[in-house]
């Protein structure tokens, strides 16, 4: 495994960056003394991490920096000493901010966009990566850093990052809504609400685990559990009618992808 270049600095440490950091610490990927967080409050709910409000004047340049603030703050951060750090590896989890927009504001040997999703907090997430750099050592270092978070996929074309963000970045929110709807539907049939919710969560968890280990695609799995004339088939007939579920999800992901494209346009300035 390629080691992470030097100490890790996080610029901003909100919900997502914090989830990633906690998982890295838990997995032993990074050690707390090698991490510095820069945020405006100067506080952090993670013990043992050095927290500063700005780049210390006497600080040696870190080899690895991850931008974890809100995308709307990119110009504010670019106007600070962060832009002068010049790390070997600059990682960005800023949704909708393209490599070119990052390169126009920050300097590094390699800039890597990363799109994680919330299950990274338990090592079951998805992290999509893209970089214009072909530095194999730094790309391997980015892969190694993200590996404890879950599935790591390199995306060859940056134009597809909006689609990746809509699918896997936003996807947990859509799955949570689906679980909630399943539970509500069970309650509508007479089950106690809390029990229906527990059953829905366990059902989705088990089905997801089965799908991830199967040697066939999810559509085939669905057909396998749907006996002709049975109750599962009757329910699938509703979802499949006029491609209702597929069309709904295409519309859902398209809306998220459009928003990502809007944020990218704003970041270009």
Sole residue written with tokens 């890790």: 8
Please give the mean pLDDT across all residues of the chain: 93
Q: Is there a domain that residue 101 lies in? A: yes
Extract the tokens encoding 39: 């945020």
Secondary structure letter of residue 59 according to DSSP: P
3-class secondary structure, 183: helix
DSSP string, 209-231: HHHHH-SS-HHHHHHHT--TTSH
Backbone angles phi and psi of 121, in degrees to 5: -60, -25
Query: Which of 156, 186, 210 lies at the terminal end of a domain, its last residue?
Result: 156
Kindly state whether residues 48 and 121 are assigned to the same domain. Answer: yes
Closest CA to 102 of 64, 152, 66, 154: 66
In this structure, is residue 243 part of a structural domain? yes
Domain shared by 23 and 146, yes or no: yes
Q: 47 exposed, middle or buried (CB, 10 Å; 0-12, 13-18, 19+)? A: exposed
pLDDT of residue 2: 56
| Residue 20 domain flag | yes
Neighbours of 10 (CB within 10 A): 27
* Inside any domain, residue 79: yes
List the domain range (segments joined by +) for residue 235. 171-262
The two beta strands, 8-11 and 64-67, are: parallel
Mean pLDDT of 33-38: 92
Task: Compute the distance between CA of residue 100 and CA of residue 241 in angstroms, rounded to an integer.
Answer: 43
Instruction: Give the C-alpha separation, 69 to 241, whole Å.
Output: 43
266 versus 114: the higher-pLDDT residue is 114
Residue 80's nearest CA partner among 21, 19, 9, 128 is 9
The arithmetic mean of pLDDT across residues 189-193, rounded, is 98
Residue 1 pLDDT level (bands cut at 50, 70, 90)? very low
pLDDT of residue 43: 84
- Which residue reads 């968890």 in tokens? 205
Question: Do 176 and 239 lie in a common domain?
Answer: yes
Q: Same domain for 220 and 121? A: no
Total tally of structural domains belonging to the chain: 2
118 and 20 within one domain? yes
Tell whether 139 and 193 lie within a shared domain. Answer: no
CATH number of 185's domain: 1.10.3730.10
Q: Is the pLDDT of residue 195 over 60?
A: yes
- Per residue in 141-168, is it b (16+ CB within 10 Å) or e — as a string? bbbebbebbbbbeebeebeebbbbbbbb
pLDDT range class, residue 58, cuts 50, 70, 90: confident
Whether the predicted pLDDT of 240 surpasses 90: yes
The answer to whether residues 25 and 142 belong to one domain is yes
Among residues 225, 178, 223, the alpha carbon closest in space to that of 200 is found at 178
Identify whether 161 is part of a domain: no
**pTM listed for this prediction:** 0.89
Same domain assignment for residues 145 and 193: no
Residue 65's pLDDT is what?
96
Local structure of residue 61 (DSSP, 8 states): P
Residue 83 lies in a domain: yes
In a domain, 3, yes or no: no
**Same domain as 13, residue 86:** yes
pLDDT tens per residue across span 125-169: 999 999 999 999 999 999 999 999 999 999 999 999 999 999 999
Q: What is the DSSP string of 129-173?
A: EEES---HHHHHHHHHHHGGGEEEEE-S-GGGHHHHIIIIISHHH
């Amino acid at each position: 495994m390629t080691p992470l270049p030097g100490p890790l600095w996080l610029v901003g440490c909100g919900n997502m960056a914090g989830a990633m950091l906690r998982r890295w610490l838990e997995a032993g990927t990074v050690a707390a003394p090698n991490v510095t967080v820069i945020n405006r409050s100067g506080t952090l709910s993670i013990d043992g991490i050095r927290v500063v409000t700005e780049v210390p004047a006497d600080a040696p340049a870190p080899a690895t920096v991850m931008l974890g603030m809100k995308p709307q703050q990119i110009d504010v951060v670019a106007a600070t000493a962060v832009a002068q750090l010049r790390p070997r590896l600059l990682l960005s989890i800023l949704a909708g901010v393209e490599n070119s927009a990052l390169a126009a504001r920050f300097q590094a040997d390699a800039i890597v966009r990363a799109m994680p999703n919330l299950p990274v907090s338990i090592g079951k997430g998805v992290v999509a990566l893209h970089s214009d750099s072909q530095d194999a050592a730094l790309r391997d270092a980015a892969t190694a850093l993200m590996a404890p978070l879950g599935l790591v996929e390199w995306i060859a074309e940056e134009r597809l990052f909006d689609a990746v963000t809509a699918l896997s970045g936003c996807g947990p929110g859509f799955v949570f809504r689906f679980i909630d709807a399943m539970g509500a539907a069970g309650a509508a049939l007479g089950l106690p609400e809390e029990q229906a919710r527990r059953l829905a969560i366990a059902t989705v968890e088990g089905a997801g685990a089965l799908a991830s280990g199967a040697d066939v695609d999810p559509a085939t799995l669905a057909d396998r559990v749907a006996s002709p004339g049975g109750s599962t088939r009757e329910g699938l007939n509703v979802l499949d009618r006029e491609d209702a579920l597929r069309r709904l999800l295409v519309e859902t992901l398209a809306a998220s992808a459009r928003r990502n494209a809007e944020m990218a346009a704003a970041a270009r300035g």
